Chain A
Amino acid sequence: MFEQWRTDEDMSHGFLVPVVILWVIWRERTRWRALPIEPSRWGLAFLASAAALHFAGALGVGLFAGSLAFLLSVAGAVLCLGGFGWLRALAFPFGLGLFMLPKLAIVYNQGTLPLQMLASRTAAGILTTAGIGVIREGNILDVGGHRVAVVEACNGIRYLLSLGFMAVVFGYLVDSKTWMRLALLVAAVPVAILANGVRVAAAGWLPSLEAGFPHAVSGWIIFVLCLATLMLLRQLFNKMYVHYRS
């Protein structure tokens, strides 16, 4: 997993996920310290399943299987030592752990082209709405002779994973309602897709944003705006909730 985080810029946030997990566990320490220690033999089943999965991963099933086996084995160890109460208490950190797993190749390979096309169409739509002439040919945008290719690395998966993770962390920190946490995670998907479309449209419209430092900064600013959008959405959802309850 370390190698994946180091080499794949879609997954480099994986370095931060364990830090956030440890911080969440520390933050919840009073809760899990109060739990009784009731070791469960089911933990051994978890450990055996993890070992089988790891073996399959080593045989060639893939890095995802091996990494999932790691999470499963930690869950098994928690069950063996603390029992189901502890596992329930640590369910959220385990859920966060899913964000550090490598991309599942089958899903990624199937999803990357539709996402590229979606980003291309969104960017073309944004430019057309803004009155800027654009010709879209597949995943290539031609804005007045300036061509931008929405290649695999631009498919928006980076925004999706990063914003999805942040939506979960943000939901955990600011709201205790389960539906709100889920709503924020679901809202992160269209926000990330739209933001990626805006980013591609900006690179097509302003050639100065196409590469280097300005390009990195524009991508970064758009992501910060995504986060601000999530914060605004949370307030909106809360207002709607209060309105319907009253």
Chain B
Amino acid sequence: MNKPTVLLFWAMFSLCLKAQITLGSTVDTFGVLAGSTVTSSGPTVVLGNLGVSPGTAITGFTGIAPGGPGLVSGAIHSADAFAGTAQAQLTTAYNSAAGAASSATVAGDLGGLTFTPGVYTSSSSLGITGTVTLDALGNSSAQFIFQISSTLTAANSSVVSLINGAQPSNVFWQVGSSATIGTSAVFSGNILAFSSISLGTGAVLQGRALARNGAVTLLSNTINTPAGLGGPPPPLVTPAPSSLILVTTALLGIFVYQGRNKLLKPFRTR
């Protein structure tokens, strides 16, 4: 293969790799999804759907045996087809996030650092102590993807702060094993974990806790699903009318303007 052809293929390949990650329309509605069990203690609130598949056990929530103080604003899905579809879409999204072309490597603790949109790769475990800031630079569509080979551990009271238009729905934490969010932490983004996810007492998640194979364990948490059922309303979209309508109107307007003397003549002679 000659050099220009190789370059052309590389350019096209790079463009493909830069494609944005999207969750499927089904998994998008879940605030919590696990592979084996969902367990909650205390007054957890999930704004969005909650489900498990292929496992069946869900404990600690009102509306499903054995009951509990936990509340779900959406529906609860236990090993049904809807949860199965969501798991399949989660796998696709997980693999897309894992396969995204890396723009930088990170290691150790992200506390105190600020990140702009991009794909950040960690070859081992990653921690968050204090505040990590994600700056979208004014672009609310910008994505942040963190590829973590092993575990993600957010310390107690740690914060993932989103600024300049960054949206929780556009932050992806692809975790190779398990994610642990500490007590009273305020975490943002979609956690896509291969194994399990645990949230400490009182931790708030602006995003989704999605575990492919393991459990999701909750302790008096609030999970606010972006644009999901019961979540905050998404900002409105305001496109202009199509350019065909605009130009047709304008052409008619100009022709009327040009022919105004003829059009007004009958009125003037009277």
Contact = CB atoms under 8 A, between A and B. Distances in A.
- Interface footprint category on A: 35 or more
Interface stretch (A36-44, A78-86, A134-142): A134-142
Interface in B212-250: 233-250
B236 A224 contact: no
Contact of A148 (B138, B236, B246): B236
B165 A140 contact: yes
* Residue from the set B8, B234, B237, B238 with the largest chain A CB neighbour count within 10 Å: B238
B269 interface: no
A152 B238 CA distance: 10
B242 to A, nearest CB: 4
Interface string A154-176: 10101101110110011001100
B243 A154 contact: no
A9 B242 contact: yes
Nearest to B137: A138
Nearest to A210: B236
Contacts, number: 130
A223 B241 contact: yes
A139 B238 contact: no
A149 B237 contact: yes
Interface residues of B, number: 35
A169 B251 contact: yes
B140 A149 contact: yes
Interface stretch (B33-41, B77-85, B200-208, B252-260): B252-260
A21 interface: no
Contacts of B263: none
B62 interface: no
Interface in A67-101: none
Contacts of B243: 9-13, 158, 161-162
A210 B138 contact: no
Contacts of B138: 113, 116-117, 120, 138-139
A169 B239 contact: no
B240 A199 contact: yes
A199 B236 CA distance: 13
A130 interface: no
Nearest to A170: B254
A13 B244 contact: yes
B264 to A, nearest CB: 16
Given A117-B138, A139-B139, A166-B254, A151 B247 contact: no
Contacts of A113: 138-139
B164 interface: yes
Contacts of B241: 216, 219-220, 223
A12 B258 CA distance: 25
B236 A149 contact: yes
